[in-house]
A and B are shown apart, each in its own frame.
Chain A
Amino acid sequence: GAVVSQHPSWVICKSGTSVKIECRSLDFQATTMFWYRQFPKQSLMLMATSNEGSKATYEQGVEKDKFLINHASLTLSTLTVTSAHPEDSSFYICSASDQRGNTEAFFGQGTRLTVV
């Protein structure tokens, strides 16, 4: 299957700072990428959908000024958590799809964010 790589796999940052998470499709062109958030022992909640070259579409209740998503190329999307606070600590997972035919979305390995 196709490979999606997330970086970093874990990050610790101070409250009030911003942190950027990268999601790369390594062997296919990802026209669409998705960002999910997973609280401890809970399911994955879709935060936003981003199409290459367009503004991201955020799910209801997700602050777009807090979670900045950029999808400037067909292989890279970034999620920036701005002015992070402890309540932003979570596991963030991206997925990517080329939206063609009977393909599926492929998931990155996730990023554990801890805000102290």
Chain B
Amino acid sequence: AQSVTQPDIHITVSEGASLELRCNYSYGATPYLFWYVQSPGQGLQLLLKYFSGDTLVQGIKGFEAEFKRSQSSFNLRKPSVHWSDAAEYFCAVGRLSGTYKYIFGTGTRLKVLA
């Protein structure tokens, strides 16, 4: 069965520090992979996506993610975190069985210390 795992429920980093949020997926074929950010009470904002091609993808707000097929991972990174990055981050797998039915990870809540 398809699944998405985000091992870290909470992460706390200091402002200016680097960040890596982990995401592992289970899916037979190469899926479409996404990272979304959600502020409290808000909808989802797409940070970046991977469909094919270059395995290192650049997104908005200085985020990037690397697809590693051998590890079934799609980790999100940012070299220097800003206080405004504090939010909930969701990894998602899409394009399952030819549709855009997404499966979301459980999310990682990021706290940024001033």
User: Which residues of A come within 8 Å of B, CB atoms?
Assistant: 1, 6, 32, 34, 36, 41-46, 49, 91, 93, 95, 97, 99, 102-105, 107-110, 112
Contacts and interface: CB of A to CB of B under 8 A. Distances in A.
Contacts of B103: 46
Given A97-B99, A104-B46, A105-B100, 7 more contacts: A49-B101, A93-B43, A97-B100, A99-B99, A102-B51, A104-B94, A109-B42
Interface stretch (B13-21, B63-71, B104-112): B104-112
Contacts, number: 57
Interface of B: 32, 34, 36, 41-44, 46, 49, 51, 90, 94, 99-107, 109
Interface centre among B34, B43, B44, B90, by most chain A C-beta atoms within 10 angstroms, is B43
Q: Top 5 A-B pairs ranked by shortest CB distance?
A: A109-B43, A105-B100, A97-B100, A110-B43, A107-B44
Nearest to A97: B100
A21 to B, nearest CB: 13
A34 B107 CA distance: 19
B34 A104 contact: yes
Contacts of B101: 34, 46, 49
A110 B43 CA distance: 5
A49 B90 contact: no
A102 B23 CA distance: 22
B24 to A, nearest CB: 15
A1 B46 contact: yes
Contact of B44 (A41, A42, A93): A93
Contacts of A110: 42-44
Contacts of B102: 34, 44, 46, 95, 105
Given A42-B106, A43-B104, A32 B43 contact: no
A104 B46 CA distance: 11
Given A93-B43, A104-B34, A112-B41, A32 B51 contact: no
Contacts of B34: 104
